[in-house]
Amino acid sequence: MKKNTIRDLKRRLVEGLQVLTGEGVLSGSGHLSARIPGTESFLINPRFAGVLAGPKDICTVDFAGRRIAGKGPIPSETPIHSVVYRSRSDVGSVLHCHARYSILLGLLDTGLVPFNREARIFADGLPIFPDSHGISSENLARRMADALASHYAVLLRGHGCVVVGPGIEGTSISAIQLERACQDQLLLMSFTTPKPLPDAGRGRVNARLENPYRAWPFLLYKHRIGSKARIRASIKALKEGEHY
């Protein structure tokens, strides 16, 4: 694996941690990881508030959950990441967090209703894992991964959620949209019963999450992560006439 690729992944991971914290998805706890392509290893922030981590703090962990580079310590719930990478070859990034509205919504028997555009990206199913324990063992992580199955997120009852996706930016945007959808559903429930959109089955557009050329640069700018010139230079907009 080229050094530049790792350096780039670490920078993007650090940016993801900052955006997710700015959006209220991450706090002092929670972790974001990225698969190192072509290897059986991934990068993850160490066991302190992700927003405080710089590229040099990011650890490398193998698929058995062992730290192989970086100072550490790695989070106790690292098995969430190693087990998901082993079982889902389509996943390039994993987030675990203890976000407020995801926890509240996970207590509802109805779960998330695909009632708006944010909720619709989870229309294929958002399972609820019933165990509220910290997922610090392989065994528990495997049960969580079974509940996640081929979906893009799982709510952990009374605990938080796990969100997966093709890459760091797409996973982060999914997690932000999930937290917002949970908050909006709870608000909606205070005055009516949420109903699925008639076209909820359209689900998600994965290409949009692989190149979120509008949402991600906006979030970098909103949270002042890098200069406006650098953020603009990174935009890979679709050509006129193209659309997702």
Site residues, Zn ion (CB under 5 A)? 77
CB of 24 to Zn ion, least distance (A): 16
Closest to Zn ion by CB, 70 vs 79, is 79
Task: Output the DSSP codes for 22-85.
Answer: HTTS--SS-EEEEE-TTSSEEEE--SS-GGG--GGG-EEEETTS-EEESS-PPPTTTHHHHHHH
Structure tokens at 62: 């193998």
CB of 9 or CB of 175, closer to Zn ion:
175
CA-CA distance, 120 to 29, in Å (whole number)? 27
- Residue nearer to Zn ion on the CB measure, 15 or 77: 77
Residues whose CB is less than 8 angstroms from the CB of residue 225 and which lie 6 or more positions away in sequence, other chains included? 15, 18, 19, 231
Closer residue to Zn ion (CB): 59 or 99:
99
Q: Are 167 and 95 in contact (CB under 8 A)?
A: no
| In the complex, least distance from residue 49 CB atom to Zn ion, rounded to whole angstroms | 14
CA 123, 24, 58: angle at the middle one, nearest 5?
95
Question: Which of 89, 77, 219, 87 has the alpha carbon at shortest distance from 162?
Answer: 77
| Cβ(194)–Cβ(133) below 8 Å | no
Three-state SS for 170?
helix
Q: How far is the CB of 75 from Zn ion (least distance, A)?
A: 8
Query: In the complex with Zn ion, which residue's Cβ is closer, 30 or 217?
Result: 30
Instruction: Report the nearest approach of Zn ion to the CB of residue 159 (Å).
Output: 6
Question: Which of residues 113 and 155 has its CB atom nearest to Zn ion in the complex?
Answer: 155
Closest approach, Cβ 200 to Zn ion, in A, equals: 29
**Shortest reach from residue 131's CB to Zn ion, in Å:** 11
